[in-house]
Chain A
Amino acid sequence: MSATIEQLSCQELVELVTDYLEGALPQGERASFEHHIDGCRGCRDYVRQMRQTIEVTGSLTPADVGPEAEAALLAAFRDWKPR
């Protein structure tokens, strides 16, 4: 079947990585994508780097909102309390 697989260039492939990782590529494009990375070390490393990027981003701690804001809101909550 490889004869029917459309050739992707590396420059095209890097724009499809997120669609690929999100499972959003149509079957034909998915096949072209996988065929390409099977034979291209640069793109294989690139896809790996995107996965690593996601991993490092996932290791960040979500930012906090200042304690003053939280205290103000809890005060608002107490005012609201009666029902």
Chain B
Amino acid sequence: MDDAAVIAALRARDERVFAELMRMYNASLLRVALIYVATRSVAEDVVQETWIGVLNGIDRFEGRSSLKTWIFRILTNIAKTRGQREGRTVPFSALERPGAVPEAAVDADRFLPPDHERWPGHWASKPEPWPEERLLAAETRGVVERAIEDLPPAQRAVISLRDVEGWSSEETRNALGVSETNQRVLLHRARSKVRQALEDYLMEAQ
């Protein structure tokens, strides 16, 4: 179903389409809400309020952005307000200046020191190929899930939208209201940490 068809169905009060839409976006909405509010239960409230906002606004929605972008804007506004009300200093810097605090993709001690006479910055302990057959095992996926849960909220939201949900960078940028560069910084940090978690797990038994 394209946007126009979904919008028409919502305006015609088609409950089946509404239920389908919720199923499609709820997990992502929750992840994004968690950037702004502290707990899962508040984030769930925010998601509920978002859908009520969608219902209230759909008759007036003009389609200047995609439906998805519009829904996530409603969510972000509600989540920001809730976050402020909770007295939480919303980590705007996490979205607006994610590069402010340096974070290495790989520990510096895996590389030769910068003053090494022949190979400064080259691998001291290089990555070894992973056992292919274990990659898609349920246990390995569990490791990845936990690594994602452990990420800071903005990184977790970006990797969830991009790599779990399969959204494009443009869709992700629009949903979060971040620049392309910042989206990429967040994605890079998230993926790097998940890679590290996989390496720790897969190499441990070797």
CA distance A38 to B204 in the complex (A): 28
B120 at the A interface (CB under 8 A): yes
Residues of B within 8 A of A (CB): 11, 13, 15, 18-19, 22-23, 26-28, 30, 44, 47-48, 51-52, 55-56, 59, 104-106, 108, 111, 120-123, 126-130, 135-136, 140-141, 144-145, 148, 159-160, 163-166, 169, 180, 184, 187-188, 191-192, 194-195, 198-199
Instruction: Enumerate chain B residues within 8 angstroms of A65, measured Cβ to Cβ.
Output: 22, 26-27, 30, 44, 47
Q: Are A41 and B48 in contact (CB under 8 A)?
A: no
Instruction: Enumerate chain A residues within 8 angstroms of B130, measured Cβ to Cβ.
Output: 49, 52
Q: Are B22 and A42 in contact (CB under 8 A)?
A: no
Shortest distance from the beta carbon of B192 to any chain A beta carbon, whole Å: 8
Which residues in chain A, 5-31, are within 8 Å of chain B measured between CB atoms?
Answer: 9-12, 14-15, 17-19, 22, 24
Instruction: Enumerate chain B residues within 8 angstroms of A11, measured Cβ to Cβ.
Output: 106, 108, 111, 121-122
Residues of A within 8 A of B (CB): 9-12, 14-15, 17-19, 22, 24, 40-43, 45-46, 48-50, 52-60, 62-66, 69-70, 72-74, 76-78, 80-81, 83
Shortest distance from the beta carbon of A71 to any chain B beta carbon, whole Å: 10
